[in-house]
Amino acid sequence: MASQFVPTQYLLQSVKTGNEFIDKGWTLDAPGETEPSLIRAVYEEVQLNLKDESFGLFKFSDWLPVNHMLQGSAAPVTYKSEGLARRLGLNNLYITFSGYWPEKGAFMPTCSFKETEAYSVGGRLTSDCKGVLVVASAGNTARAFARVCSDNDIKLLLCVPEDNLSAMWFDKPIKDNVKLVSTRSGSDYFDAIHLSNMICGLPGFFAEGGAKNVARRDGMGTTMLSAVTFIGRIPDHYFQAVGSGTGAIAAWEANQRLIVDGRFGTSVMKLRVSQNAPFTPIYDAWKADSREMLEFDSDEARKQVEEMDAKVLSNRKPPYPVLGGLYDALKDTSGEVLVATNEEGRKAAELFQQLEGCDIHPAAAIATASLINEVEKGTVPQDDIVILNITGGGEELFKSEKEVDFLKPDHVFDITPDIEDVKMVLSKLF
């Protein structure tokens, strides 16, 4: 199977200037440009040609910036809803599911769409990318990267808040090429990012790049590709919960490519992204019609993050203001930012399991709750084509079938660690 894979041909392009340039292996920014701007992949294949199902996620490789194919991947699955659609009175509700649900053909062993990022990022790596890949995460991303890098012998260092370590479960041992460090209890995702940035300033380590990494965004964009190739046209509405908004940016970029493809219509899909109250920095900035994120107190933010169910949505510095980021995506699609509470999310999760038949993660429940709320408000016409992106699910089902163990951190740092302490600890890990 791997021998049939052909590296994808693409260039990179600055969103700000439109300048195109060659990917030198791990390019995260446009060369010679100073104003913050995302870069995008421009693929040689203008039309998407799906590969065989045996390729897993890499069946979408025409629109993935990958040099080789990793083993063990699974693609998101899209199906037409019956139970939830009937309850909401929607005639064209489609669910794109990333997780573990064998009945629907979904086989992601970390039960999260973060696998789409990890496989795409790993597939972008070349022999020129020396050193240890560094990833900061609030939980699901770390679990996905740990599994993918362990299985494919990629050196990886994960930075995860200590309070989120319950997300670090696996059904088989993680190899020694993957190391995990934490920031102590009371810290949040922002603190883990700060630690990872310190580490990436040291020799021998390089940043995965987050939203700046075209492989990460286009990996997540496969949820949109799954939906559109199943439905046969670009949908009218797209519901997803967001912490950074990178998945929504990816869906917007995929929408633009699908319009150019020419076979799926010319619709600009309305992004309807949601946050988990009380921590709603993207919602607050959007409602203020501000491209810049609003100021907030760090201690208050940590307190709010502790209260929210969907802690994976707790990004304090999302790629919202950057050119080509979430603000631009929302403006271009006449999109909106919604809010759902913990209670609304829990009720939505129960309803999804009752009507569709599978458990879903808290973040996916927030997206489902927002869809329910908008239908009740009458903002979703019953005949419109709607995508609900279930970004994680099947964990209860998976754990009922498998025995899982938890990966323990190799070291727990203070919230604001000393750089010399960081150097000493890492010298012993790698």
C-alpha dihedral, 277 to 281 to 286 to 287, nearest 10°: 60
pLDDT score at 147: 97
* Number of other CB atoms surrounding residue 411 within 10 Å: 16
Tell me if 264 sits within 8 A of 232, measured CB to CB.
yes
Q: What are phi and psi of 21, to 5 degrees?
A: -155, 165
User: Which residue from 325, 326, 322, 366 is spatially nearest to 346, judged by alpha carbons?
Assistant: 366
pLDDT score at 127: 77
Amino acid identity of residue 77, one-letter, is V
The two three-digit tokens of residue 346, written as one number: 């829990």
pLDDT score at 43: 98
Amino acid identity of residue 119, one-letter, is Y
Q: In what order do the strands lie in the sheet with 39-43?
A: 20-21, 10-14, 39-43
User: What's the residue count for the chain?
Assistant: 430
The two three-digit tokens of residue 290, written as one number: 């501000």
* Number of other CB atoms surrounding residue 414 within 10 Å: 12
pLDDT score at 126: 87
Q: pLDDT digit of tens for each residue in the chain (430 aa)?
A: 444 789 999 999 999 999 999 998 899 999 999 999 999 999 999 999 999 999 999 999 999 999 999 989 999 999 999 999 999 999 999 999 999 999 999 999 999 999 999 999 999 998 777 899 999 998 899 999 999 999 999 999 999 999 999 999 999 999 999 999 999 998 888 899 999 999 999 999 999 999 999 999 999 999 999 999 999 999 999 999 999 999 999 999 999 999 999 999 999 999 999 999 999 999 999 999 999 999 989 899 989 999 999 998 989 899 999 999 999 999 999 999 999 999 999 999 999 999 999 999 999 999 999 999 999 999 999 999 999 999 999 999 999 999 999 999 999 999 989 999 999 999 999 8
pLDDT score at 2: 43
pLDDT score at 190: 86
Distance between CA 396 and CA 99 in Å, rounded?
11
Q: For the chain, what are the domain ranges? A: 77-111+216-399
Distance between CA 97 and CA 80 in Å, rounded?
11
Tell me if 138 sits within 8 A of 163, measured CB to CB.
no
Amino acid identity of residue 31, one-letter, is P
Q: What is the pTM of this model?
A: 0.95
* Number of other CB atoms surrounding residue 427 within 10 Å: 10
Amino acid identity of residue 27, one-letter, is T
pLDDT score at 172: 95
Distance between CA 263 and CA 47 in Å, rounded?
8
Is the domain spanning 77-111+216-399 CATH 3.40.225.10? The answer is no
Distance between CA 361 and CA 383 in Å, rounded?
27
10: enclosing H helix or E strand: strand 10-14
DSSP single-letter state for residue 280: -
